[in-house]
Amino acid sequence: MKVTSSEIVISAVKPDQYPVEPIPEFALAGRSNVGKSSFINKMLNRKGLARISSKPGKTQTLNFYIVNEVLHFVDVPGYGYAKVSKKEREAWGKMLETYLTTREQLKAVLLIVDLRHPPTADDIMMYDFLKHYEIPCIVIATKADKISKTKRAQHLKITKEKLELHPHDTIIQFSSETGEGKDKAWATIASYM
């Protein structure tokens, strides 16, 4: 998909704040600092639309972006940031669970993981949660530019095995530095619309 327009619609916490346009929606989840903002900016050809966070774990809202007037990206606050209090973690969990389990137009979640390292316990928990609710998942293995081509297959294999990736779910090697994987990510999103 060629992106010609993208803008933030709203930062929402509660369902009555979600946008009302009944268009396909794709949520983006990942641990803090994994490269989620960079992924969004690369996909939307924007430099500073999603904040590239110097303070991970700060945004505790669901940020809705409208893309080409035809779909929403929903940026979910990053998880796994140690300095977040138990209370904040609980509020985050509740907000996310409400969104994921009630939003009818949600087509898939893009789970951003770091190709360099095996998925974390939090990544696995997030993936299991999506599978429990039968939500399709597109795994984006980012920072691929940091792994030499000869080691890619091994890293990909570990990521799939650790997540116990469902055969229907796609995994895409991605780099926000080089744009690798961008076309495949858009094609996969389009296949869920």
Residues that bind ligand GDP (CB under 6 A): 30, 32-38, 52-53, 56, 78, 142-143, 145-146, 175-177
Provide, rounded to whole angstroms, the least separation between the CB of residue 57 and ligand GDP.
8
Q: What is the number of other CB atoms lying within 10 angstroms of the CB of residue 122? A: 16
Provide, rounded to whole angstroms, the least separation between the CB of residue 29 and ligand GDP.
10
Joined tokens for residue 180: 């690798």
As to burial, measured by CB atoms within 10 angstroms (0-12 exposed, 13-18 middle, 19+ buried), residue 141 is buried
User: What is the spatial distance between Cα 47 and Cα 52, in angstroms, rounded to a whole number?
Assistant: 9
Please identify, using beta-carbon distances, which residue of 16 and 54 lies nearer to ligand GDP: 54
Please identify, using beta-carbon distances, which residue of 152 and 166 lies nearer to ligand GDP: 152
Provide, rounded to whole angstroms, the least separation between the CB of residue 176 and ligand GDP.
4
Bridge partners for 106 per DSSP = 25
Please identify, using beta-carbon distances, which residue of 122 and 177 lies nearer to ligand GDP: 177
Provide, rounded to whole angstroms, the least separation between the CB of residue 7 and ligand GDP.
18
Please identify, using beta-carbon distances, which residue of 146 and 157 lies nearer to ligand GDP: 146
Please identify, using beta-carbon distances, which residue of 38 and 159 lies nearer to ligand GDP: 38
Provide, rounded to whole angstroms, the least separation between the CB of residue 178 and ligand GDP.
8
Rg over alpha carbons for the chain, rounded to the nearest Å, is 16
Q: What is the number of alpha carbons within 13 Å of residue 81 lying toward its C-beta?
A: 21
Q: What is the number of alpha carbons within 13 Å of residue 136 lying toward its C-beta?
A: 17
